[in-house]
Structure 1
Amino acid sequence: MITLLNRLRQGKSESDRASLRSRAFRAGSWTLVVHFLSLALRFVGTIILTRIFAPEAFGVLAVVTSVQLVIVLLTDIGLRQAVIQSPNGAVPSFLHTAFTLQIARGIFIWALSGVFAAGLSLAQTHNWVPSGSAYTDPDLPWYIFVASFLSVIWGFQSMKAVSASRNLNVKPVYLTELFAQFVSQAFVILFGWLTHSLWSYIAGQLISGLVIASLSYFVFAGHRDRIGWNREAARELLRFGRWTFLSSTLSALALNGDRLLLGAWLNPQSLGFYSVAYNLASVPDGVVGKIFGAVSFPVLSEAARNQPERVAEILRRMRWITDGSLLAISGFLFAASPSIVHLLYDARYAPAGWMLQYLSLGLIFSRYTISQQAYLALGRPEYLTALSVAKLISLFSSISLFNFLFGIQGAVLGVAVHMLPSCLLMFYFNGRHNLNSARLEFVVLSAWLVGWLIGEGVSFVF
């Protein structure tokens, strides 16, 4: 009898493992296809917009986007991650409480943005901002205030979309986002061409948010959203979110501090060059992050709930793909960046070539960030807080020191290598949960050399 029960348990374990693997593969496949289409759409849009707007416009947009992201991350309490990770993530009262907190957070973000915009306007009036910097644009406070209304729109997005991600049903999530991106980008290109005004870009962002929030109520199946409050659910959400809040507060500056600092040191044109280079350099990291971020956290969370001994194995399998891909792309971009910029943009944007070359080195370090999904799945969000502290200190010290020693080229190089201390800290955290792999670390380094050789070949052809 005991033997029979053991066989039944083993059969169930193997069935669960196969189910998780198949759902993860299906989710990853959809993520890859849709994100590729999204990148292609964004790529075409960027090429067109660089013909419509001068480099200075992208410098101002870099500041607007950075301020938005900082304020959003400063108020992040990890609602989405909590719903995906929690055993109560499918309970209606839990979802209603999360929905209520989401709406309140969106309104609070917009109010906070209004305070920042008013402060910036006052600083401009009294000449407290660096002369000639991107912060002197007189319309910048209004850009920030209006663009931040997007947080209010996102606050009313249905929790059904989060539940779909929890269950690895990502197809409708990404198709909705892709449709919204197409509508938004078509609007920006059309009205940008007609008006040559950055307001077309701000309006396009709001339209994208409206499309996503509206469709979330009709596309997804699940419990009907409503305002509600459950004390136990709120306690669990906020308990999980306190570490996420600390981590996001620090990550807000760590992720956007480069553009905030450079915005004060550079004129809008030079910041525009950096923005173009940064956007290109972030594409590979964004692809890998989108694919594995959408898949790895739900997969690792489910494994941590049901088969915790498999978390290390699953993470290593993912890292063979992510590390190899990012290292190869890093080597390729380091060799071919000037040629790529020359091919894609007109001569006004040539300085973005060397900036992209330097920033490509950052992919060597950013490949480790997938481990953070495992930390959340294992219920250790405090690790992310410690990593954010390391990133923040390293970013500001690296940019400032390298800028002082070598000027703007040094500042860009400081951005590229600032993640080194946090990577060393991740090795320590991984060791505590048996997540490290010496074999993986050494073998995948060859991918950078392969990518560099291919990039040299491409540059020679061009």
Structure 2
Amino acid sequence: MAEFEKQPPVALPATARWHSVLRHAVGSRRSLLGAAGWVSATFIAQQTLRLVSNIILAWLLAPALLGTMLLINTLRTGGELLTDVGVGQSIVNNPRGSEPTFYNTAWTIQILRGLLLFALAIALTVPIARLYDKPELLVLLPAVAPIFILTGLTSPARFLLQKRLEVRKLALFDLASAVFGTAVQIALALYTPTIWALIWGLLIGTAGPAAASFFLIDWRSHRLRWEKEAVTAVLHFGKWVFLSSLIYFLAMNFDRLYFADAIPLALLGIYGIARTFADTITLLFQRMGSLLIFPKVSASQQRGFDLQRAIRPIRLVTLLIAATGLAFAVALADRFIFLVYDERYHAAGLFLSILLVGSWFGILSTMADAMMMGVGKPSGVAFSNGAKLAVIAVALPLLLPRYGMNAALLVFVLADAVRYAMLAWRKRGVGLSFLRQDAALTLFFFLLIFLFREATMLLGLTEGVDFWFAQARMPLA
């Protein structure tokens, strides 16, 4: 990644100049790898907390409660993504992003958006409850609605740290927020094992980090501002971010919205367990892309083949490690579910194995997303998510009624593969194609799944590959 930093001209003899460039390159690579280490380590800690919390809550609460909360969280996330105008991305991408006038204007836009979302949540409560024929939403949705105000008031400091590549500080803050939110939710579930433990846990777990975020930078620098030039810059950059977020939400959450009406809430809760684990893998790479690749590419003056050549080696190493770890996870996914969950949740075993296969294409796609955003081409991200959405929206309603839940989950693998294919095509236009590398890595990934599964069968840890096919023929819905 040393080539990410364009070297300034220096008036030195050739040998001295080479050593100067080499020292700078080594320092830049060490800095990037150190940042990647912080992102990975704190993310793993966060997700460990999240997954431990998930397991504990599954023991404490009924599957139907988890299914209800999955629907509520999906609707909440939808509201946030469907009104995303790229406030944070604009701060990171714009040269003026570090100026108080610019980021305070962006923050003001964010606050107004939060107030608008709160009002919309209240107004849409009755239609949503009737749509899903779930009267309990008439009380639960207004109870969750204040979260939009809390997220709107959150300081823009996180985006400033991201722009400055102050990864260590940001990573530690996110880890502390995760610890706080996990502790609150488990404590409430122990006290009152009802849906209100999840509702109050969400609100308190959001309010604490929102207040703490003001101290990531000098809290006195926060002001409500409305500079016309900054507003124009945010909205101009945000138009493609808005479209991309709109399609991204539908592509990533159509399953939850559709399943909430098509299958029992208990089965939705079981599916949510599998999705939580599968999404963890993709989220790690989304985080690395957002905190490292996106700001680094944005700041670089290199483009096209020069940028591709700079990225290729470390990208190969990263994806080799990812392919190996993910293939091992696929091989042991069902055994893990059987060990840590009671029999009410055992169907999540095969669900998780299937979804993790799709995560491989999700990893390839998220890395491509970050590069396309970095070179100022968010339209490619929007089109790729649109292609994924089209596959899910057409195929899922066709497969679920005819072949059941297990077969329907294969739609997500196909959809992620289509999303990646669209991004690969768009990346060729900006000189960032990695098709040969990705084809070889994908073959390597599937070969490893087979080898790991058969090896664990010989060790008596799992059944063979044929066990998956036998399970897949047993429809659950």
Q: TM-score, normalised by structure 1?
A: 0.90
The amino acid of 1:93's aligned partner reads T
Return the offset for 1:182: 1.7
Which of the residues 118, 131, 140 maps onto 2:126?
A: 118
CA, structure 1 residues 244+438, in 2 after alignment: closer, same or farther (shift >3 Å)?
closer
The amino acid of 1:447's aligned partner reads F
Name 2:460's counterpart in structure 1: 461
1:307 equivalent to 2:302? Answer yes
Larger mean CA deviation between 415-424 and 241-250 belongs to: 415-424
What does the per-residue CA deviation read over 1:67-109, in whole Å, with 9 as the maximum and x for residues that have no partner? Answer: 1111111000111111111111112211111111111111112
Once residues 55 and 407 of structure 1 are traced to their aligned partners in structure 2, the CA distance between those partners, rounded to angstroms, is 19
Larger mean CA deviation between 239-248 and 35-44 belongs to: 35-44
Once residues 208 and 313 of structure 2 are traced to their aligned partners in structure 1, the CA distance between those partners, rounded to angstroms, is 36
Name 2:357's counterpart in structure 1: 361
CA, structure 1 residues 11+401, in 2 after alignment: closer, same or farther (shift >3 Å)?
farther
Assess if the C-alpha contact under 8 Å between 1:160 and 1:221 holds in 2. Answer: no
Once residues 11 and 89 of structure 1 are traced to their aligned partners in structure 2, the CA distance between those partners, rounded to angstroms, is 34
The amino acid of 1:154's aligned partner reads T
Name 1:350's counterpart in structure 2: 346
Assess if the C-alpha contact under 8 Å between 1:247 and 1:385 holds in 2. Answer: yes
CA, structure 1 residues 258+344, in 2 after alignment: closer, same or farther (shift >3 Å)?
same
Which of the residues 41, 45, 48 maps onto 1:40?
A: 48
Once residues 125 and 19 of structure 2 are traced to their aligned partners in structure 1, the CA distance between those partners, rounded to angstroms, is 60
Once residues 341 and 79 of structure 2 are traced to their aligned partners in structure 1, the CA distance between those partners, rounded to angstroms, is 32
Which of the residues 409, 423, 429 maps onto 1:412?
A: 409
Return the offset for 1:257: 0.4
Alignment of 1:120-269 (within 5 A): 120-121=128-129, 123=130, 129=131, 135-221=132-218, 224-269=221-266
CA, structure 1 residues 240+5, in 2 after alignment: closer, same or farther (shift >3 Å)?
farther
Assess if the C-alpha contact under 8 Å between 2:244 and 2:382 holds in 1. Answer: yes
Assess if the C-alpha contact under 8 Å between 1:24 and 1:299 holds in 2. Answer: no
Assess if the C-alpha contact under 8 Å between 1:92 and 1:223 holds in 2. Answer: no
**Aligned residues with identical type, % of pairs:** 25
Once residues 12 and 167 of structure 1 are traced to their aligned partners in structure 2, the CA distance between those partners, rounded to angstroms, is 24
The amino acid of 1:448's aligned partner reads F
Once residues 112 and 27 of structure 2 are traced to their aligned partners in structure 1, the CA distance between those partners, rounded to angstroms, is 37
Which of the residues 86, 95, 104 maps onto 1:87?
A: 95
**Gaps in structure 2 of 5+ consecutive residues:** 1-8, 462-477
Return the offset for 1:24: 2.3
The count of corresponding residues between Structure 1 and Structure 2 is 448
Larger mean CA deviation between 404-413 and 252-261 belongs to: 404-413
Assess if the C-alpha contact under 8 Å between 2:289 and 2:370 holds in 1. Answer: no
1:432 equivalent to 2:429? Answer yes
SS at match of 1:435: coil
Larger mean CA deviation between 147-156 and 346-355 belongs to: 147-156
Once residues 36 and 201 of structure 2 are traced to their aligned partners in structure 1, the CA distance between those partners, rounded to angstroms, is 28
The amino acid of 1:308's aligned partner reads R
What does the per-residue CA deviation read over 1:366-396, in whole Å, with 9 as the maximum and x for residues that have no partner? Answer: 1222111111111111112212221221111
Assess if the C-alpha contact under 8 Å between 2:331 and 2:353 holds in 1. Answer: yes
Name 2:72's counterpart in structure 1: 64
Query: Cα RMSD between the aligned structures?
Result: 2.5
Which of the residues 327, 341, 353 maps onto 2:337?
A: 341
What does the per-residue CA deviation read over 1:277-308, in whole Å, with 9 as the maximum and x for residues that have no partner? Answer: 111111221222223332111111112xx333
Return the offset for 1:326: 4.0
Alignment of 1:1-16 (within 5 A): 4=11
**Gaps in structure 1 of 5+ consecutive residues:** 124-128, 130-134
Which of the residues 443, 446, 450 maps onto 2:444?
A: 446
The amino acid of 2:65's aligned partner reads A
SS at match of 1:419: helix
Once residues 368 and 227 of structure 1 are traced to their aligned partners in structure 2, the CA distance between those partners, rounded to angstroms, is 39
What does the per-residue CA deviation read over 1:168-216, in whole Å, with 9 as the maximum and x for residues that have no partner? Answer: 1122222222222222222221221221111111211222222211111
Which of the residues 275, 294, 297 maps onto 1:278?
A: 275
Once residues 12 and 88 of structure 1 are traced to their aligned partners in structure 2, the CA distance between those partners, rounded to angstroms, is 30
CA, structure 1 residues 113+326, in 2 after alignment: closer, same or farther (shift >3 Å)?
farther
What does the per-residue CA deviation read over 1:297-330, in whole Å, with 9 as the maximum and x for residues that have no partner? Answer: 1111112xx3335432344345324433443344
